[in-house]
Amino acid sequence: MNSSSSCRSRLTFSTKASAAALAVAAILLLSQRSAFGQTQETVWSDQEKPIVETIKTLRKLPDATRADTTKQLALQIRQLSKTPNKLRLAIHLADLSTEGDLGMDTLQEVATTLAAALQEQPVPDEKGQPAEPYVELASLVRYEHVTTSLDAAPLKAAMAKLEVDDQQRQHANFTLTDMQGKAWTLQDLHGKVVLVNFWATWCPPCRKEMPDLEKLYEALKDKGFVILAISDEEADKVTPFIAEQKVSYPVMLDPGRRVNELFQIEGIPKSFIYDRDGKLVTESIDMRTQRQFRVMLAMAGLQ
């Protein structure tokens, strides 16, 4: 993503934040349009303010504490009165809940809260496509394997779109050159287990998962494991960063975003794992820990 994009969070249901660091601060700046088209700052109720303040701290918490806190936030949001803010808080919490390994119980509570908010406050389609909250919930169901009882046409449409997107990724091919000048073509890597990772230097969750990716690469590269890490930034930003981080797996640039667009990347980090037959077997919609990556790689037959 370029500098005008975010890792995961959104200022509105269809507009990305200006930087990853705004993922939570955006909540405080979240605005809505008045009947006259003027932007108005969101006003939080006394019940909502403590939830907002707690959400601001989530990324600073240890994983175990963050999981419990996220679960409690989901329950608190679910108990709020029906207001537009309830859905805003539910979608922001869902954005943050997929960073790392918070556990199925936590993710299920987050998804249930988002579904409940959408049940109370259905969101109209955006330009003929399901609105972002439905896409978020569909992603949780498809990629995080939670369940939902929400029976809504926009959710079904979002699920169908994700299926089509994955079919396109299954047949995707590209050739990019890494920072050492070696060309890599995805469909030439049959016989290898390939992890395609979209990232950027400015993205905190991307930076957080990189040491785990490096450890996995060093441990498994002799077993036929390849990482293709793709950034849409310029070389003068990426080169010193990967040198400082001591990244040894292939890093390549996509400044025109051709490959990003091929994979329909709108938020990062995202990772896609292909098995030795070139089949897309699993993917992540956010950062993953080493444990989570190992589970994903096992699905591709790599232990």
**Residue 201 contacts residue 207 (beta carbons within 8 Å):** yes
Tell whether 129 is covered by a domain.
yes
pLDDT level of residue 40 (50, 70, 90 thresholds): low
Q: Specify the number of domains making up the chain.
A: 2
Asked whether the predicted pLDDT for residue 81 surpasses 70, the reply is: yes
Asked whether the predicted pLDDT for residue 16 surpasses 90, the reply is: no
Residues 26 and 138 in one domain: yes
Q: Going by C-beta distance under 8 Å and a sequence separation of 6 or more, which residues neighbour residue 187?
A: 173, 278
Tell whether 4 is covered by a domain.
no
Residues 131 and 67 in one domain: yes
Residues 139 and 219 in one domain: no
Asked whether the predicted pLDDT for residue 292 surpasses 50, the reply is: yes
Counting every residue written for the chain, the total comes to 303
Give Cα 29 to chain centroid, integer Å: 21
Query: Residue 292: enclosing H or E segment and its boundaries?
Result: helix 290-299
Q: Of 120, 145, 166, at which residue does a domain stop? A: 166
Which residue's entry shows tokens 């500098």?
3
What 66-73 contacts at long range (C-beta under 8 Å, 24+ apart), as own/partner pairs, is 66/100, 66/102, 67/102, 67/103, 67/106, 68/106, 70/96, 70/97, 70/102, 70/106, 70/109, 70/110, 71/105, 71/106, 71/109, 71/110
Tell whether 295 is covered by a domain.
yes
Residues 77 and 157 in one domain: yes
pLDDT level of residue 31 (50, 70, 90 thresholds): very low
Asked whether the predicted pLDDT for residue 148 surpasses 90, the reply is: yes
Structural domain that includes position 197: 175-299
Predicted pLDDT at 52 = 96
The model's pLDDT over 237-247, given as tens digits with 9 standing for 90+, comes to: 999 999 999 99
Q: pTM for the whole thing?
A: 0.85
Residues 193 and 294 in one domain: yes
DSSP bridge partners of 284: 271
DSSP bridge partners of 41: 31
Mean of the pLDDT values across residues 79-105? 95
**Residue 61 contacts residue 69 (beta carbons within 8 Å):** yes
